[in-house]
Amino acid sequence: MVTIKSAAEVAKMREAGKVVAEILAATSAAAKPGVTTGELDRIAREIIERRGAASNFLDYQPSPHVNPYPGTICTSVNSEVVHGIPSARRKLKDGDVLAIDAGAIVDGWHADAAITVAVGTPSEKVTRLIAVTREALRRAIAAARVGARLGDIGHAVQSYVEGEGYGVVRHYGGHGIGRAMHEDPHVPNLGTPDRGAPIREGMCLALEPMVNVGRPETRVLADGWTVVSEDSSLSAHFEHTIWCTSEGPVVLTDPGSGADERIGRELGTLRRVPA
């Protein structure tokens, strides 16, 4: 069931979104050669605790056949696409591409976002992969207009990414978000314009293109979580939680500025992505 969120509800999701943005800023700043992904997870845990939030990733169990997720963030390195498990044994090295996915719950309301960064000095290949995936998310958000359809979002991502010669991961996608981290609808990163469910005023969506330098196919490692590209090619992931309004999509997981503190009284101060 697709639910519609009020401005008051979205104000709480924005609070969760600010915690997520803080986690992404702190962990990406700390992601230097020699640092472990386990250390990044500790930084995320401390921020959640300091902000009085809760983790929606830790112990997440999509089905009884899967082990509860053991981290507060996902850290996916190089050919890892998503859901890489942070580890004290995984040291980042110069040139790695690192996707960090983070979520938080405030007063029962969820936010979810991801960024990809280069560790140390990036190769041209890594720089371009990150730029294309970030732009794919920007286009997805711009396509999420009230009155458009989910296929418009998928088409915006797929046509751009494939035009750049990369593979769009098909097996995973975006999702509704609110009282739960994963709500209806599923939001594929591929599609046909003017097809799929309509985007309605008040919907909250987590949009998250995953892009492989090579083929789009993926597989899951024996740990039950880590998704890797089948052809071992490098992969990147960006995600934002957005609120769909008649004035355009509002990004709830943006770092924002001081003006955003007025959220709740003045939702109009949030950053809107131009159509």
Q: Which residues make up the interface to ligand MF3 (CB under 6 A)? A: 57, 60, 69, 74, 83, 101, 103, 112, 206, 208
Q: Does 22 sit near Co ion (CB under 5 A)? A: no
Taking CB under 5 A as the criterion, the residue among 203, 206, 210, 270 binding Co ion is: 206
96 versus 101: smaller Cβ distance to ligand MF3: 101
101 versus 254: smaller Cβ distance to ligand MF3: 101
Q: Minimum CB separation from Co ion for residue 176, in Å? A: 10
Q: Minimum CB separation from ligand MF3 for residue 75, in Å? A: 10
Q: At what angle do helices 7-30 and 37-50 cross, to 10 degrees?
A: 140
Taking CB under 5 A as the criterion, the residue among 9, 22, 41, 112 binding Co ion is: 112
By Cβ distance, which residue is nearest to ligand MF3?
Answer: 69
103 binds, among Co ion, ligand MF3, none (CB under 5 to 8 A by kind): ligand MF3
135 binds, among ligand MF3, Co ion, none (CB under 5 to 8 A by kind): none
177 versus 267: smaller Cβ distance to ligand MF3: 177
